[in-house]
Structure 1
Amino acid sequence: MKAGQNKLFCNGVHNLPTEIFDVEKFVTLSGNAEYCAVKRLKDVVKLKLRTPRMLYTLKVDPAKAEEIIKRLKCEIREV
């Protein structure tokens, strides 16, 4: 790493997760994803989509989560 280079960037790509608020965009991104990690909490379900370059997250109500999970086009991993 060069002096003065920000540690959050690796080869020009931002390494922090990006939160997605649009369900349709999340489902579209799942076509290029390696897997989707599902983390179930008391009042929210977090879906974490791992693509080759980025990690995308989506927070949804538990009632809507199953419907969205069925539409995803990648491997589902319960965390």
Structure 2
Amino acid sequence: MPKQIFDQDEFLELSDKASECRVKRLPEKVKLKLRTDRYLYTLVTNTADAEAILEQVRCRVVEARPGAEEI
């Protein structure tokens, strides 16, 4: 089941338990998705904040759909 997170600190704590962090880049926002054994946690943020968060994430970072064209 997916869950949305609104707190960046909680997202970073959950990254300890996550197997990977998927990054989905959209024109005006970035979605960061943590895959754990039980849930898929999503944090929606802007590009600048996303880069700062990704430097602190403690799991593997995977770009979702690299090279895919934006519609």
**RMSD of aligned C-alpha atoms?**
0.5
Identity %, equivalent residues: 48
Quote the Cα distance in structure 1 between the aligned partners of 2:58 and 2:7. 16
Quote the Cα distance in structure 1 between the aligned partners of 2:50 and 2:8. 10
* Structure-2-length-normalised TM-score: 0.88
Asked which structure has the greater RCO (Cα within 8 Å, sep 6+), the reply is: 2
Number of matched pairs: 64
The runs of at least 4 consecutive aligned structure 1 residues that moved more than 3 Å come to none
Given the alignment of the two structures, is residue 46 of structure 1 paired with residue 31 of structure 2, yes or no?
yes
| CA radius of gyration, larger in | 1
Aligned-partner SS, 1:36: strand
Letter in 2 for 1:54: Y
* Structure-1-length-normalised TM-score: 0.79
